[in-house]
Amino acid sequence: MNPSAAPSTPASTPARTSQRFDPKILMLFGFVAMLYVGTGFVQSWNTALTIFNMGLVGSIMALGVNMQWGYAGLFNVGVMGFVALGGLATVLVSVEPVPEAWSAGGLRTMLGLVLGALTIVGAILLWNAMPKGRLRGLVMFVVLVAGFTVFRRVFDGGTAAIEAIDPASTGFLGGLGLPILLAWPVGGLLAAGGAWIIGKTALGLRSDYLAIATLGIAEIIIAVLKNEDWLARGVKNVTGIARPVPYEIDLQANEGFLNLVTNIGADPITASTITVKLLYAALFIVVLGILIWLSEKAWNSPWGRMMRAIRDNEVSASAMGKDVKKRHLQIFILGSAVCGIAGAMMTTLDAQLVPGTYQPLRFTFLIWVMVIVGGSGNNWGAVLGGFLIWWLWVQVEPLGLLLMQGLTASMADGFWLREHLLDSAAHMRLLTMGMILLLVLRFSPRGLIPER
Amino acid sequence: MDFLNAIVALMNFVIVPATAYGAQLALGALGVTLIYGILRFSNFAHGDTMAFGTMVTIFGTWGLQSMGVSFGPLPTALLALPLGIAVTALLMIGTDRLVYRFYRKQRAKSVIFVIASLGVMFIMNGIVRFFIGVDDQRFSDGERFIISARTFRELTGLDEGLAFRTTQGITIVVAIVAMILLFWFLNRTRTGKSMRAFSDNEDLALLSGINPERAVLITWIIVAALTTTAGVLYGLDKSFKPFTYFQLLLPIFAAAIVGGLGNPLGAILGGFLIAFSEVGVTYAFRKVVGYLGPADWQPEGLLQLLSTDYKFAVSFGILIIVLLFRPTGIMKGKLL
């Protein structure tokens, strides 16, 4: 059962179709739509679309977290890590390979990685094969130490050779040079792989432990992205990642586009930026549409009911013969994969991978606010929460500045308090998000669109 | 072979810093473990509570400094520490009244408390950034060294220096005092005993007339004292930066879990275990090994197991190993 909400009533008929026509839900979505449209009128359509595109990405992340939390009650606070793995996928898939780096140390690095993986697999096999006792521990220790030494010997030489190749512009292996859209599913797969490893070890432990374990793995993934220069240039960032949509400059040079724009009577530069954003939005909406359709299908399927049964009462579900641990692993992987897809989409939108920008508050805990506020256990709720909270996250800063200007209007220019308050307006958003989370959790624990 | 120099180098770069760091982690982990034992949830706002307490102490320090007050060779921050603890305690009690008490009355699941603590984390993070900003703050003053590397070299005639900073000394002394006080309180006083009883068996404790709200209130006050002290010591030793404090959450949690959640002795043990592993695994042992080998010989390579950027991986690795092989922690968890 979803936390703190009333127990679901199995006796009531599952209202599958009625929800979509529930006036309250339409009103809520209408309200959020008005926020975006209002931004378009008050600020600019470019701003509104920028927020909207990131809102789409946020919604997909919220959808992924909602699968884990809403369907299965798994508390994953490592969303950032899976999002970053998705981002890494865009580099690995779409960037052109660097042949010099591959010939300098590519094979050696790969060999090193294989040796490292073999060490771990060998150690696990040994652990399972040998009888319990002191000898087992000793052999494990020797295997791990020897394996680690060999791994470092092989691996370090390879990476050093790769990173020495033109470090200012490459210094990494590059990617496969494939179309960028392929990176989205690959991002999902990469995140799924990461989720499999962490799920294998941490699922089945208490929920707090899973939380800490995921928090840790996310930090480690970011540390890897920052430090393994041979992989994705580390903090030197990968910029200029290919785009699935045309460049603004090309649009502005395109006769057909110019004719069209002048016919409408719009400024070609603004029109081109808006067109590009609309194209991104269209792509993202397709992904969101597919994912939400699949999620709804899954939710209403026997599989979805089994998941909720496990969530509401693990003991009785396993008494009915359900493999709780396996189901948890399954949904954990699925949810993380969705976060990975969203991460790949976001990096595609930014056209650059900047490991330094991954902050847990922004990429893990904000997504949690989206899910809790929107309504855990409801896919539409997660999407609504994604759009609403993302809009607030962006807009609270200018609103806070306005508020501070209002508050400090009577103070003299250059007065320290006034300066300080104006400077601090940027930090209002954390305060606001915390307040919203606490208020919703307290007064409307089932969120804006509660679970059916 | 140069045994003495090797030992001194090891002391200087591993043992002394790791002891100080371990003491800071242990104090933090004690707070986590107390909250877990009495309130039964993992408090994600812990790192930001540390940051808040340290921030108040820093403001107090600045205030004292501007009045010309100093603590002689010791950092002024120690004088401001009681203020930091008091304000943090008030904030903790206020948070409990406004946020956690409601869920306690409802007997909500522990994961709801955790989510509420995420909200508290956001707010505290916001408050800290609002008042002091996101930048690094150094607020250590007074004498910098108890023994500086140079004095040590002159005194002993060795090649290696052993620096022992005042902040490291203070950290160790203050941590020991705090731990003694805490254990005295938990084991010798009536309130402390009632808290342990409450942690051990809530229903039985309620039956024997222990007031749970009082136990909770005192827990928050102790936690405020522990976290603020840990935060101030860490800030004196290194520097104060809100985001670093947020990141300390991971090693602190790891320490508490590795030691056995809810077990104060375990938290201390866990703190030192994590600190020593973190420093030991990320330290380049080239110099130490070089002294141990024949004269004029240096091993090739740095002999560093992991680069310092992977220090989180160390606490995480230990955490996973312990969770896999001994889920209750080194000391048995869940008792106070």
B277 φψ region: left (φ > 0), alpha (ψ -120 to 50), beta (else): alpha
How far is it, in rounded angstroms, from Cα A70 to Cα A385?
14
CB contact at 8 A, A46 and A305: no
Are A220 and B114 inside 8 Å of each other by CB? no
Q: Give, as one character, the DSSP assignment of residue A131.
A: P
Average pLDDT over chain B reads 90
Q: Nearest CB to B119: which of A216, A427, A438? A: A438
* Both tokens assigned to A291: 């994912």
Calculate how close chain A gets to B254, using CA atoms only, in Å. 8
Residues of A in contact with B310 (CB under 8 A): 220, 223, 227
How many beta-carbon contacts under 8 Å exist across A and B? 133
Are A428 and B114 inside 8 Å of each other by CB? no
Q: Quick one: pLDDT at residue A22? A: 82
How far is it, in rounded angstroms, from Cα A413 to Cα A419?
8
pLDDT at residue B196 tops 80: yes
Are B99 and A438 inside 8 Å of each other by CB? yes
Residues of B in contact with A209 (CB under 8 A): 257, 323, 327
Closest CA to B137 of B226, B248, B54, B25: B54
Span of A218-227, A401-410, B61-70, B146-155 with lowest mean pLDDT:
A401-410
Residues of A in contact with B108 (CB under 8 A): 3-4
Q: Which of B122, B246, B310, B312 to mutate to test the interface with A (most CBs of A within 10 A)?
A: B122
Helices marked H in A228-323: 229-232, 248-253, 255-264, 268-300, 302-312, 314-319
| Interface contact A209, partner B, CB < 8 A | yes
Calculate how close chain B gets to A439, using CA atoms only, in Å. 9
| Interface contact A438, partner B, CB < 8 A | yes
Q: Report, as an integer, the average pLDDT of B27-31.
A: 96
Calculate how close chain B gets to A277, using CA atoms only, in Å. 31
| Interface contact A201, partner B, CB < 8 A | yes
Are B250 and A215 inside 8 Å of each other by CB? yes
CB contact at 8 A, A77 and A365: yes
Calculate how close chain B gets to A274, using CA atoms only, in Å. 34
Q: Nearest CB to A211: which of B114, B127, B254? A: B114
Q: Quick one: pLDDT at residue B227? A: 96
Span of A415-419, B57-61, B226-230 with lowest mean pLDDT:
A415-419
Q: Where is B164: in which H helix or E strand?
A: strand B164-165
Q: Nearest CB to B118: which of A219, A365, A432? A: A365
Q: Nearest CB to A75: which of B102, B114, B125? A: B114
| Interface contact A122, partner B, CB < 8 A | no
Q: Report, as an integer, the average pLDDT of B47-62.
A: 96
The alpha carbon dihedral of A393, A399, A401, A403 has a sign of negative
Domains, in order of start, for chain B: 3-325 (1.10.3470)
Our measurement of the distance from residue A349's CA atom to the centroid of its chain's CA atoms, rounded to an integer in Å, reads 13
Q: Degrees (nearest 5) of the Cα angle B313, B317, B323? A: 145
| Interface contact A287, partner B, CB < 8 A | no
Q: Quick one: pLDDT at residue B285? A: 85
A378 φψ region: left (φ > 0), alpha (ψ -120 to 50), beta (else): beta
Q: Nearest CB to B324: which of A201, A219, A441? A: A201
Name A174's bridge partners. Answer: A97
- B168, B170, B176, B180: CA torsion to nearest 10: -160
Q: Give, as one character, the DSSP assignment of residue A182.
A: G
Are B129 and A430 inside 8 Å of each other by CB? yes
Cβ neighbors of A433 (< 8 A, separation 6 or more) are A366, A369, A389, A392, A393, A396, B122
Q: Which of A312, A361, A430 to mutate to test the interface with B (most CBs of B within 10 A)?
A: A430
Residue B335 burial (CB < 10 Å; 0-12/13-18/19+)? middle
How far is it, in rounded angstroms, from Cα A280 to Cα B193?
62
Residue of A nearest to B109 (CA): A3
Calculate how close chain B gets to A447, using CA atoms only, in Å. 13
Name B147's bridge partners. Answer: B164
Q: If pLDDT is split at 50, 70 and 90, which confidence band does B333 have?
A: low
Calculate how close chain A gets to B59, using CA atoms only, in Å. 15
| SS3 of residue A239 by DSSP | strand
Are B133 and A372 inside 8 Å of each other by CB? no
Q: Nearest CB to A3: which of B112, B310, B315? A: B112
ipTM: 0.91
What's the CATH number of domain A18-97+174-404+415-443, 1.10.287, 3.10.620, 1.10.3470, 3.10.20?
1.10.3470
CB contact at 8 A, B77 and B140: yes
Residues of B in contact with A372 (CB under 8 A): 115
| Interface contact A444, partner B, CB < 8 A | no
Are A75 and B246 inside 8 Å of each other by CB? no
Residues of A in contact with B115 (CB under 8 A): 3, 368, 372, 437, 441
| Interface contact A140, partner B, CB < 8 A | no
| Interface contact B281, partner A, CB < 8 A | no
How far is it, in rounded angstroms, from Cα A10 to Cα A13?
8
How far is it, in rounded angstroms, from Cα A367 to Cα B112?
16
Q: Which residues of chain A have pLDDT under 50?
A: 1-18
Quote helix, strand, coil % in chain B, to nearest 5. 75, 5, 25
Are A365 and B319 inside 8 Å of each other by CB? no
Q: Quick one: pLDDT at residue B235? A: 95
For residue B254, CA distances in Å to A99, A223, B242 come to 42, 18, 20
* Both tokens assigned to A322: 């359900």
Closest CA to A81 of A184, A201, A225: A225
Are B111 and A3 inside 8 Å of each other by CB? yes
Residues of B in contact with A361 (CB under 8 A): 122, 125, 246
Closest CA to A308 of A71, A76, A9, A74: A71
Closest CA to B88 of B274, B258, B228, B254: B228
Cβ neighbors of A316 (< 8 A, separation 6 or more) are A309
Are β-strands B164-165 and B145-147 bridged in parallel, bridged antiparallel, or unpaired? antiparallel
pLDDT at residue B18 tops 60: yes
| SS3 of residue A238 by DSSP | strand
Calculate how close chain A gets to B181, using CA atoms only, in Å. 29
Q: Quick one: pLDDT at residue B317? A: 84
How far is it, in rounded angstroms, from Cα A217 to Cα A213?
6
CB contact at 8 A, A451 and A376: yes
Q: Nearest CB to A368: which of B112, B118, B323? A: B118
Largest pairwise CA distance in chain A: 82
CB contact at 8 A, B222 and B182: yes
Q: Quick one: pLDDT at residue B1? A: 60
Q: Give, as one character, the DSSP assignment of residue A365.
A: I
Q: Give, as one character, the DSSP assignment of residue B240.
A: B
Residues of A in contact with B42 (CB under 8 A): 208, 211-212
Q: Which of B39, B40, B115 to mutate to test the interface with A (most CBs of A within 10 A)?
A: B115
Residues of B in contact with A365 (CB under 8 A): 118, 121-122
Are B253 and A212 inside 8 Å of each other by CB? yes
The alpha carbon dihedral of B93, B99, B100, B101 has a sign of positive
Residue carrying structure tokens 């160390």: B314
Are A220 and B316 inside 8 Å of each other by CB? yes
Residues of B in contact with A205 (CB under 8 A): 323, 327
Q: Give, as one character, the DSSP assignment of residue A133.
A: S
* Both tokens assigned to B204: 């039985």
Our measurement of the distance from residue A274's CA atom to the centroid of its chain's CA atoms, rounded to an integer in Å, reads 25
Q: Quick one: pLDDT at residue B327? A: 78
| Interface contact B125, partner A, CB < 8 A | yes
Name B74's bridge partners. Answer: B71
Q: Where is B219: in which H helix or E strand?
A: helix B212-237
| Interface contact A358, partner B, CB < 8 A | no
| Interface contact B42, partner A, CB < 8 A | yes
pTM for this model (two decimals): 0.91
Round the CA-based radius of gyration of chain A to a whole number and report it: 25
Are B122 and A434 inside 8 Å of each other by CB? yes
pLDDT at residue B257 tops 60: yes
Cβ neighbors of B271 (< 8 A, separation 6 or more) are B22, B23, B24, B25, B26, B27, B28, B29, B252, B255, B259
